[in-house]
Amino acid sequence: MIYVEAGTRSLRSFDAQLIFAEQLAARGFNVCIDSEYFPEDPGRGRLYEASKFLADPEEHKARTVFVLGAEEIDDQLLASLRKKELDPSVPVFATGRFPTQQSYVAAKARLAYALGREVHVMDLTDFQPRPILTATASPLVSDVRSPSRRPDRALPNVTVVLGSMELDNPETLSCFSRMNSQGGYNLKLIVSGAQNEAIKASPFHDLSTYMYTGLSPLSLAKSTDILAMFGKGIAGVRMAAFAVELIATGGVAIDCTEDEALMASGAPALLGPKTPFALDGYLTGQVIGNVAHIAEQAAKSQWMHTVDISRLETAAGLRPKQRKPARAEAKTLFVPTNGVGLGHAQRCAVIAREMPEAAPKMFAAFPSCVPLVRREGIDCIPLVQRIDTKTSADGNDVLTYRRLSAALRDNDTLVFDGGYVFDSVYRVIRERSLSAAWIRRGLWPEGRSRQTMLRREGVFDRVIVPSEAFEELNDAYSFGDHVHYVGPIVRQVEQSYDDKEKLRARLAERFGRDFKQLVVSMLGGGVASDRSAQLQAISSMIEVRNDCLHLVVTWPGSTVQPAAFGWKNTHVVQTLEATKLCLAADLVISAAGYNSVLEMLYHRIPAIFIPQSAPYLDDQERRARAMADRDLCAVIAEREFMKLERTVTDCLDHDGTAFYRTALNAFKLPETGASKAAALLTGLGAINER
């Protein structure tokens, strides 16, 4: 195991450790960073990057140690080295930029005193006479001898680093907006927090932006063909590493900085305009179309030798361990998420069932969804539920990121079903160069920020939109050839009259009582909206009916209030076969989620709907009202307890369900969309034009 240490502890030195660790890992080495280096407030981006490398020293025995930024060494580094009790055979290699010979000798002496032996120290001032950044612990190197092949994109990806550029001139963002709509390239901006807020608050909020720590420099370089850097100087070590990696791997860098920082370092970059207003003409007139020739000339530059990571490896006695992995057939990984994720998992399972059996596929889902997936004969990676604490708000998503990263290879396909695109999903798509699809339902409630929901749509090759059953509910949130609308996706169950009667007989035997009427309630598990009051009201109504059995049906793992267990005629049932119970019931009372409404509709089951109303859910009220307007169901608002009692009584005592059943049987159902969605996913593997 290679440990990457730093002379001092700060965000800047930690960035240097992360960048160098990722570069070594890409070369096939096992790399880690002592967890003691983890800053108190690293920011979201660094949190995900660090999760791949942080380790306790007791877990791994050091085989090699790199010390970055050795020109400034504090006592914490020396204590860290002593604590590791390194064997004399373990090489320790240090890099730094030393202003004087005396500082070089002093660094060697301090390291030798801590270790009890001499240490190989490389002065990067000799290694890189004109570094892009002088005050950085990072060696700023790259793999220049075997650069990865750049994908052949239909349109080049242009990334613009704004640097210290001010956005007080409204024409600046207007210029970038025009560039974004030109059609000759894909534009992305790398911005600071303040710049990002200014863009969000402007009429040009649809501009695609990255934060400086949003993705690692290696990931940025992989998804960029042309880089333009503005502002004064280079905007930090991450952007410097980004530029080095891009040029070394065959991309084109354009120096638009005020002080021509890239050009001054000797980097084979193009000298570009100092203002973004001239950038579009420069790109279309001189750069796009000549990228291959420019990269070929850059590869001949002597500068490439100064950023060659193999020089450090050779000096440290390391040999690259890159191995060509055995060619594995590309697989499709479904990631149904948001909340408990059961509805999302069921929808994905319906689509997966329509894919060819020979197509490799698997799921990554919350534990409550695992039985649902595995009953379809599909393997499933369990994810970790969100922990509702302020101290670890992102902890579960970091674990999700690590598990997705381990499960996926470059060019696999990831299918995400959910509303908000989590960092774990976004990052792994970018880092693994995955083909990706977003199964995105609509019916977003009023007040939900569409800008936030759609900000990461560009990471997906295709957006598949399962339709609602009623046309007026099918809102359009984005447009383009990548957006595909399919019919409603619903799990359909066959159940004969004999099957129904056998199920009712089994229920009577299980609960030790005969019944004439069966009522099924499916109001949710209490995670989204608390429906305990409604359940208590229904249970109270059923309690006086000696010939009636009331089943509170929940998904495995759902939350049920303890009071639901105190009734004689009411029983809580956790099952994956809720639809079969509904088909056998005399009355169903349900929330108005996408899956629930479609299952009632496509199985012609009369129901009373009580819509949930949590702000992060879809607009269940609107969906239920669309059904009620067609006389296909009854709708009860959450506080209409008197109406709920009247409606239940009407359905059980006066055959009120017959009216709805007649309307349901007469309603012409839209064609379902699972097979079309599966066909779109099956052909996705060949697409990768990000």
Q: Where are the extended beta strands (E) located within 146-267?
A: 157-161, 186-191, 209-211, 226-229, 252-255
Q: Which whole number is the average pLDDT over 267-288?
A: 94
- Count CA atoms closer than 13 A to 44's CA, side-chain side: 16
pLDDT at 617: 74
DSSP state letter for 683:
T
pLDDT at 680: 94
Burial of 506 (0-12, 13-18, 19+ CB in 10 A): exposed
689 or 675: which leads in pLDDT? 675
Residues making up the chain, counted from first to last: 690
Return d(Cα 585, Cα 519) in angstroms, integer. 6
CA R_g for the chain: 30
DSSP state letter for 284:
I
- Band the pLDDT of 325: cuts 50, 70, 90: low
Return d(Cα 495, Cα 486) in angstroms, integer. 26
Look at 233-237, 245-249, 309-313, 334-338 and tell me which has the smallest mean pLDDT: 334-338
The per-residue pLDDT for range 575-589, each reduced to its tens digit, is: 888 999 999 999 999
Q: Which whole number is the average pLDDT over 641-655?
A: 92
Nearest one of 630, 579, 588 to 609, comparing CA atoms = 588
Most confident range, picked from 140-154, 310-324, 578-592, 613-627: 578-592
pLDDT at 531: 76
Return d(Cα 255, Cα 267) in angstroms, integer. 10
Q: Which whole number is the average pLDDT over 125-154?
A: 83
Q: Which whole number is the average pLDDT over 129-154?
A: 82
- Tell me the two tokens of residue 161: 């680093």
- Tell me the two tokens of residue 443: 């019916």
φ, ψ for residue 486, nearest 5 deg: -125, 170
Q: Which residue has the tokens 């509709």?
A: 601
pLDDT at 690: 42
Look at 4-13, 66-75, 308-317 and tell me which has the smallest mean pLDDT: 308-317
Question: Domain 332-489+675-682: what homologous superfamily?
Answer: Glycogen Phosphorylase B; (3.40.50.2000)
Q: Tell me the fold of 2-127.
A: Rossmann fold (3.40.50)
Nearest one of 598, 600, 580 to 589, comparing CA atoms = 600
Return d(Cα 286, Cα 284) in angstroms, integer. 6
- Tell me the two tokens of residue 540: 């109270």
pLDDT at 323: 56
602 or 145: which leads in pLDDT? 602
Return d(Cα 73, Cα 106) in angstroms, integer. 10
Name, in order, each residue with C-beta under 8 angstroms of 38's C-beta and a sequence gap of 6 or more.
14, 50, 54
Question: Domain 497-666: what homologous superfamily?
Answer: Glycogen Phosphorylase B; (3.40.50.2000)
- Band the pLDDT of 571: cuts 50, 70, 90: very high
Q: Residue 614 above 80 pLDDT?
A: no
Domain with CATH 3.40.50.2000 in the chain: 157-315, 332-489+675-682, 497-666
pLDDT at 686: 46
- Band the pLDDT of 528: cuts 50, 70, 90: low
In this prediction, what percent of the chain has a pLDDT beyond 90? 68
CB 33 within 8 A of CB 62: no
pLDDT at 338: 60
- Band the pLDDT of 688: cuts 50, 70, 90: very low
C-alpha dist (Å) from residue 263 to 158, 281, 283, 397, 567: 19, 21, 18, 40, 79
Return d(Cα 315, Cα 325) in angstroms, integer. 27
Helix, strand, or coil here: 509?
helix
DSSP string, 76-112: HHHHHHHHHT--TTS-EEEEE--SSHHHHHHHHHHHH
pLDDT at 537: 92
Q: Which residue has the tokens 């046309």?
A: 471
Nearest one of 99, 109, 105, 66 to 84, comparing CA atoms = 66
Helix, strand, or coil here: 572?
strand
The per-residue pLDDT for range 25-72, each reduced to its tens digit, is: 998 899 999 999 999 888 888 999 999 999 998 888 999 999 999 999
pLDDT at 353: 93
Q: Residue 449 above 70 pLDDT?
A: no
Q: Residue 547 above 80 pLDDT?
A: yes
- Count CA atoms closer than 13 A to 260's CA, side-chain side: 10
pTM, full prediction:
0.88
250: left (phi over 0), alpha (psi -120 to 50) or beta: left
Q: What mean pLDDT, rounded, does the chain reach? A: 89
pLDDT at 447: 59
The per-residue pLDDT for range 389-435, each reduced to its tens digit, is: 455 557 788 999 999 999 999 889 999 998 889 999 999 999 988 99
- Band the pLDDT of 129: cuts 50, 70, 90: confident
φ, ψ for residue 125, nearest 5 deg: -65, -35
Return d(Cα 68, Cα 17) in angstroms, integer. 7
CB 595 within 8 A of CB 491: yes
Name, in order, each residue with C-beta under 8 angstroms of 510's C-beta and a sequence gap of 6 or more.
none
Query: What CATH class has 157-315?
Result: alpha beta
In this prediction, what percent of the chain has a pLDDT beyond 70? 93
CB 279 within 8 A of CB 160: yes
pLDDT at 158: 96
CB 543 within 8 A of CB 569: yes
pLDDT at 612: 85
609 or 420: which leads in pLDDT? 609
3-state secondary structure 406-429: HHCCCCCEEEEECCCCCHHHHHHH
CB 490 within 8 A of CB 468: no
Helix, strand, or coil here: 4?
strand
